[in-house]
Structure formats: C-alpha cells, structure tokens
Amino acid sequence: MPLFQAKNIRAGYGDVVIVDGVSISVSANNLVAIVGPNGSGKSTLLKSLLGLARLFSGQVLYGDRDVTRIKSWQAVEVGLGYVPQVNNVFTNLTINENLEMGAYCRRDKAGIKSDLEETYQRFPELAARKKARAETLSGGERQLLAIARAMMAHPKMLLLDEPLAFLSPKASGVVLNRLLQIQAEGTSMLLVEQNTIKALQSASYGYILNQGRCVMEGKGQELLADESLRERFLGLGKEV
Ligand SMILES: Nc1ncnc2c1ncn2[C@@H]1O[C@H](COP(=O)(O)OP(=O)(O)O)[C@@H](O)[C@H]1O
Ligand SMILES: [Mg+2]
C-alpha cells in the first residue's frame, strides 16, 4: 500500500479552479517528483494537500488514514513535513532558533536537544553558524535550514516546493544530495521542481503538470527520455 495518495484533486483559490483531476501516489522510502512549467499549479497542488489552498474535491490518504482537509499543523503531527517555496525560514531569527521552531509541536526537551546535535552533524554548514541570523545565509544554506527545520518534527514524508530554485548548479547539487541522503535514511519525498532534469533523474516516479492537469506520469528516467515531452512540457529540446 502506498504511504501517501492524493486522488482526483481539484484545487485552487476562492472560486477559481487551478488544479483539476490530479492523482499522486508515493510509496514508502521513495522520491516522487512533480515537474512542469511555471504557473502549471505545482505549488497550488502541494498547498491544497496541507490545507493551504482550497480543496474543492478529491481525497488524501496517508497510509490507511484519511487526511483530506487536514490543517497544516495537523499534517506535521501525523508525519508530513512541508518545505514551502518562499519565505521558508525566519530570517530575523538565528539558525538555532529556526531549528527549535521546527520542533514546536514536541514536548520532549531532551529529545529536541539531541536532535539539534544530530542535525548539526548532518548539516555542518549550519553548525558553523548557530548564532547567526538566517538572513545572513546564502540561498543554498537557507534551503538546507528549511529542510533541517522540517526534519526536526520527525516527518515520515517531506513535501518540498522547489528547494533548488534560484540556486547555482553547485548549491543545488549540495541541496539535492542532502535530500537524497535523508531519503536513503528512510524519509519519503514528494518533490516539486522546475529543475526538471535534476528532479526526474533523482525520482523513482514523476508526474508532469501542465495547466493544472497531469499530462504524463511514469518512471523518472522514462519521462526524461520521451522526446515529445521534452519539447512540449519540459523545455529541454531534443536529447543530444
Ligand atoms: N494565492 C493565489 N490566489 C489566486 N491565484 C493564485 C494564487 N497563487 C497562485 N495562483 C495562480 O495559480 C496558478 C498556478 O500557480 P502555482 O500553483 O503557483 O504554479 P507553479 O507552482 O506550478 O508555478 C497561476 O495562474 C497563479 O497565478
Ligand atoms: Mg510554485
């Protein structure tokens, strides 16, 4: 049974439907990618799964539990971590304070302390800057902090909205490798990305969104190899 399923999602804002008839499935320990052009509804889809955009209809299952219309804070409690596309760190708080915020739903002080230590081992870039305000971090370091903060709540699955956007190839490589390491240690991922090649190369399965609809799904490498898809939806041109 899949760890996470979104079935026939129809979502948007106010009375406007942006995403229509999209279904997504994520198996345990897998990385699943959602790609597609700017404005295709990727963020809206993710937000609708977490009560942050309007869900007109559809069903969301986490294991055998129905989590349709769950509030974002309840999502954290059931094990769904979310790394939003923008404003995903508190810039005027320190790195340590940001990480503590990630554990806000927990009461086990000793556990939080040991998790902080573990997080700093896993994210040495952050360990060196504990007392610095997050606004002093580079773009890539901010994404690492946002991911590390989400991990402080011990999610079983992370929903990530364009963690590689606006990063240099080097920085996006660092962030992606860290995500793959976290995945290998047992956290499933639903990764929304405009960086199509990196996302589909890393994903076991991918969905291509265009104008709010899923136009194709399949194994990451197979989607990347499909010439008509490359040209029509992925902006990649012919394979060379
Ligand atoms: N808060 C909002 N209110 C109304 N429309 C929105 C809102 N956010 C995004 N949209 C619209 O929804 C469409 C899809 O946007 P989005 O989900 O952000 O796409 P993507 O993440 O794929 O770039 C766009 O046409 C955008 O203008
Ligand atoms: Mg988006």
Domain segments of the chain as ranges = 4-232
Supply the pLDDT for residue 238. 63
Q: Which residues surround ligand 2, an ion (CB under 5 A)?
A: 42-43, 85
Q: Which CATH superfamily is domain 4-232 in?
A: P-loop containing nucleotide triphosphate hydrolases (3.40.50.300)
Identify the nearest ligand to the CA of 19 by its number: 1
The DSSP call for residue 132 is S
Per-residue model confidence (pLDDT) at position 54: 97
Question: CB of 16 within 8 A of CB of 56?
Answer: no
* Buried/exposed code over 131-158 (b: 16+ C-beta within 10 A; e: otherwise): eebbeebeebbbbbbbbbbbbbbbbbbb
> What does the pLDDT look like over 126-165, one tens digit per residue?
999 999 999 999 999 999 999 999 999 999 999 999 999 9
* Mutate which of 13, 18, 46 for ligand 1 pocket (most atoms within 8 A of beta carbon): 18
pLDDT at 236 (0 to 100): 67
The DSSP string of 94-115 is BHHHHHHHTTTT---HHHHHHH
Q: Mutate which of 16, 17, 38, 43 to test ligand 1's pocket (most atoms within 8 Å of Cβ)?
A: 43
Encode 42-73: b = buried (16+ Cβ within 10 Å), e = exposed: bbbbbbbbbbbbbbeebebbbeeeebbebeee
Residue 193 is predicted with a pLDDT of: 94
- Say if strands 205-210 and 213-218 run parallel, antiparallel, or are unpaired: antiparallel
Task: Say how many Å lie between the CA of residue 209 and the centre of ligand 1.
Answer: 13
Ligand 1 pocket, Cβ-based, cut-off 6 angstroms = 13, 18, 36, 38-44
Q: Where do we find the tokens 């979502």?
A: 11
Say what the pLDDT of residue 93 is.
96
Q: What is the mean pLDDT of each run of 10 residues along the chain (240 residues)?
A: 96 98 97 94 97 97 94 90 92 96 83 92 94 96 96 95 94 96 96 92 95 95 84 66
